[in-house]
Structure 1
Amino acid sequence: MTIRKFLAKTHLVIGLSTGVLFTIIALSGALYTWEPEFSRLMYHQQVAEEGKPFISISEIRNTLEKTFPEGDFRTALYRDPESSIEVLLYAPGTYYLAQLNPYTAELIHLQDMNKGWINYVKKLHRNLLLGEAGREIVHWITLLALPMLISGLVIWWPANGWPRKNKFYLRWSLSPKKLNYNLHSILGFYASWILFFAVITGIYWGFGAVRTTVKQLSGETKINWETPLSSDPGTGQGAGNDAMLNRLISEYHAEFRGSEVRISIPHKKEDPIHLSIIDPNKGITEINHYYHDQYTGDRIQGNFLNGLSSEISTFNVINGMVYDIHFGSILGLPGRVLVFLGSLIAGSLPITGFIIWWAKRKKRPKK
């Protein structure tokens, strides 16, 4: 058996055995590419700008105590003047995102993040709605997709010479059988260059050995990270010091007007007040993290795992880029469109491939 025939057989076996699940993973991934837009619509994040100062942490706390007292207030995300303030709340067995009007503190929407179709799409992509067992299945299907992509490109390339023009564009006037073959072959060729990045980043997430190897090669294991801590004066004050929180969120949001600002609520005596400065037009690696003592308000400085973007380690750059590459956000909107189209095509390939196999099977003479 030649190498080409072996790869063709490999392509067929992997495609037939994983095709249905691969289609589900790919199509749910394509849909989840637009999660920010879906969330903005479904969670009612759009508000009318009123030209007034944003509400304080104290006002957020007052609203939550009246409308959802069982929620444990963790963080508040202050965004632009036309977006709600997003509040993270913990509850037994789940967590919630609450959307509050930034000018009136009115609760606009409360979402259990273990429910809702957007979250089901995410779980479908990550674990096929089967929990940890499903997560492992997704990881191995992602790994098997890599040899399937490579073998597909080898099959696409002519056995002799260079590919002709008809290998690069679709002709809709062909017979249904030939058109289906071209949909599989030509669209698969173009999508493969996008899917390579999605698959490799998926493998990085799915297998701890890959991340461990990258961590060791990048020198991350040799870095001694410090932990930002507040200095407890022993007076019993802190953790609920809204005046301190109000002052810091006001200062940071005024200083970084073009960015989103997330502030954490300390829950333990040694917890710092953690503020994240997020540029919505940049990736995860560009987020800047600041820490303040919850008792004095003084800034805490040190060699922190999550610190300033200018001081980020090589491993954390790779970690952040993996996320941005997987969803295409590393190239902004054009990148997300590419990932969306590539995932749509990927979801169609097992279907068109099965039709090709079935047609050939029917043509074989009976013994």
Structure 2
Amino acid sequence: MKKNNFKNTIRQIHLWLGLSTGLVVFIVAMTGCLWVFKTEIESLYSDYKKVIPLNQEYISASKIKEIASKENPNRKIHGVLFGQPDEAIEVIYYEAEPEIFYQSLFLNPYTGKIIHQVDNDGGFFGFILKGHIRLWLPEAVGSLIVSYSILLFFVLIITGLILWLPKKRKNLGQRLQFDWNNKTRWKRKNFDLHTVVGFYTSVFAIILTFTGCVMAFGWFYYITYIATGGDKNPRFVNPKNEKVFTQVAQKNLVDGLIPNLKKEYKNARSFELHFPENDTTSILVEVSNSDELHYDMDYLFFDQNTLKELEPNSIYSKYKNANFADKVIRMNYDIHIGAIGGITGKIIAFIASLLCASLPITGFLLWWGRKFK
């Protein structure tokens, strides 16, 4: 009797959580599976990112800043991305207030000629991302709804697994496979779609949900880091300069930074230079060591007046200094979109997200069929 009461309670929790979060989970899952192949899809129509490589040095960082500031005056330059010899330089602008301004200006790395400008907040994938993180609602409202719906979806998965367990072990096989024939009614087929698909998707759904919660909640992020043995500052830290700011010295020094780093990091995929935000902050260079991966990047900080390398007590520093807990957090986004497993991982993430999107539909039909016989 007690066991039945427990299962009935779990069933009610599962039902009401499913009905209240189903639409949100469906939208987040569908937009998520589309986002997975963003890079591959964009490569089909982004010829402006390619240039004819020349046997000469790139234009200087200060020259790039001058061109970019003239093209978009009074706009904040977030960073400058230096890629391979056949890739255009990407100047990234980003401002959150008073409204989001997120655009990229592509330049020829050898001549400084402007090739193209892209609105990263618009277009198809801008639309998809807004749906994924805030349901196309205002940020303050939409992101809150998405965050807590995904947290509740985590509970849904656990309660679903409890309900999936059959009363008798001999009936286990029926929960592991579809047993359809010409006489199987649609209600039975829908039940199997919900339970069988739910079971096989559960592991991937837990991973996607967990990594999503790490990005959505600061407290979840912090607990995950501490629980895995972290002992550093888990946040991004930009060290302060050690010397007094000198405008001329900084401008001259920053021009030689990327050429020097290219000699040191010969196998690097790209270098993203971030100019100092003010007189006291250091220069940041993000060195990408792999295609489409973020976790193994090297975050390098330099005093803007001397170019002395500074070491922050943060998980965001050189990858070789990262311990297990640091790597767990740094891998989070790559795991979330499946990139950690290359193209195979992305396919798995795509299929898992698509199947997760089906669960609210089959669950709703299951409830509807029982309530309105």
TM-score normalised over the length of structure 2 = 0.83
> Which of 47, 59, 64 is the equivalent residue of 2:68?
64
Deviates more, 1:112-121 or 1:344-353: 112-121
Deviation by residue 1:68-100 (Cα, 9 ceiling, x = unmatched): 334333421112234332211245632322222
Hey, what's the Cα distance between the residues in 2 that align with 1:226 and 1:88? 19
Alignment of 1:187-226 (within 5 A): 187-216=197-226, 218=229, 220=231
> Which of 286, 293, 298 is the equivalent residue of 1:276?
286
Alignment of 1:52-91 (within 5 A): 52-53=55-56, 55-56=58-59, 57-90=61-94
Deviation by residue 1:239-258 (Cα, 9 ceiling, x = unmatched): 4x1x4333221222244343
Q: Could you tell me which amino acid in structure 1 is paired with residue 253 of structure 2?
A: M
The reply on whether 1:108 has 2:120 as its aligned counterpart is: no
The reply on whether 1:118 has 2:132 as its aligned counterpart is: no
Contact 1:157 1:163 in 2 (8 A): no
Contact 2:241 2:304 in 1 (8 A): no
Alignment of 1:79-158 (within 5 A): 79-90=83-94, 93=99, 94-130=101-137, 131-158=139-166
Alignment of 1:244-255 (within 5 A): 244-255=253-264
The reply on whether 1:332 has 2:342 as its aligned counterpart is: yes
Contact 2:157 2:206 in 1 (8 A): yes
Q: Tell me, what secondary structure is at the counterpart of 2:273? A: strand
Alignment of 1:4-23 (within 5 A): 4-23=7-26
Contact 1:286 1:309 in 2 (8 A): yes
TM-score normalised over the length of structure 1 = 0.85
Alignment of 1:245-324 (within 5 A): 245-259=254-268, 260-281=270-291, 283-297=293-307, 299-305=308-314, 306-312=316-322, 315-324=325-334
What is the CA distance between 1:197 and its match in structure 2?
0.8
What is the CA distance between 1:343 and its match in structure 2?
0.8
Q: Which consecutive aligned stretches of 4+ in structure 1 deviate over 6 angstroms post-superposition?
A: 221-226
Q: Could you tell me which amino acid in structure 1 is paired with residue 273 of structure 2?
A: I
Q: Could you tell me which amino acid in structure 2 is paired with residue 135 of structure 1?
A: S
Hey, what's the Cα distance between the residues in 2 that align with 1:295 and 1:171? 71
Q: Could you tell me which amino acid in structure 2 is paired with residue 95 of structure 1?
A: Y
Q: Could you tell me which amino acid in structure 2 is paired with residue 85 of structure 1?
A: I
> Which of 196, 216, 231 is the equivalent residue of 2:243?
231
Q: Tell me, what secondary structure is at the counterpart of 2:121? A: coil
Q: Could you tell me which amino acid in structure 2 is paired with residue 354 of structure 1?
A: F
- Say if 1:207 and 1:275 are closer, same or farther in 2 by CA, change over 3 A: closer
Q: Tell me, what secondary structure is at the counterpart of 2:213? A: helix
Deviation by residue 1:245-296 (Cα, 9 ceiling, x = unmatched): 3322122224434321111223433333322211224743321122333333
Q: Tell me, what secondary structure is at the counterpart of 1:323? A: helix
Partner of 1:27: 30
Q: Tell me, what secondary structure is at the counterpart of 2:350? A: helix
What is the CA distance between 1:148 and its match in structure 2?
1.3
The reply on whether 1:348 has 2:358 as its aligned counterpart is: yes
Contact 2:290 2:296 in 1 (8 A): no
Q: Could you tell me which amino acid in structure 1 is paired with residue 87 of structure 2?
A: S
Contact 2:91 2:105 in 1 (8 A): yes
- Say if 1:236 and 1:84 are closer, same or farther in 2 by CA, change over 3 A: closer
> Which of 2, 7, 22 is the equivalent residue of 2:5?
2
Hey, what's the Cα distance between the residues in 2 that align with 1:104 and 1:162? 73
Q: Could you tell me which amino acid in structure 1 is paired with residue 112 of structure 2?
A: A
Deviates more, 1:9-18 or 1:105-114: 105-114
Hey, what's the Cα distance between the residues in 1 that align with 2:241 and 2:350? 42
Pairwise CA RMSD: 3.0
Contact 1:228 1:300 in 2 (8 A): no
Deviation by residue 1:195-214 (Cα, 9 ceiling, x = unmatched): 01111222233333333434
- Say if 1:236 and 1:102 are closer, same or farther in 2 by CA, change over 3 A: closer
Deviation by residue 1:169-221 (Cα, 9 ceiling, x = unmatched): 44675556133332222222111110011112222333333334345554537
Contact 1:238 1:269 in 2 (8 A): no
Hey, what's the Cα distance between the residues in 1 that align with 2:232 and 2:65? 40
- Say if 1:38 and 1:69 are closer, same or farther in 2 by CA, change over 3 A: farther
Q: Could you tell me which amino acid in structure 2 is paired with residue 329 of structure 1?
A: A
The reply on whether 1:161 has 2:169 as its aligned counterpart is: yes
Unpaired segments ≥5 residues, structure 2: none
Hey, what's the Cα distance between the residues in 2 that align with 1:287 and 1:328? 17
Hey, what's the Cα distance between the residues in 2 that align with 1:32 and 1:164? 36
Deviation by residue 1:220-241 (Cα, 9 ceiling, x = unmatched): 37899882415226x54244x1
Q: Could you tell me which amino acid in structure 1 is paired with residue 337 of structure 2?
A: F
Q: Tell me, what secondary structure is at the counterpart of 1:285? A: coil
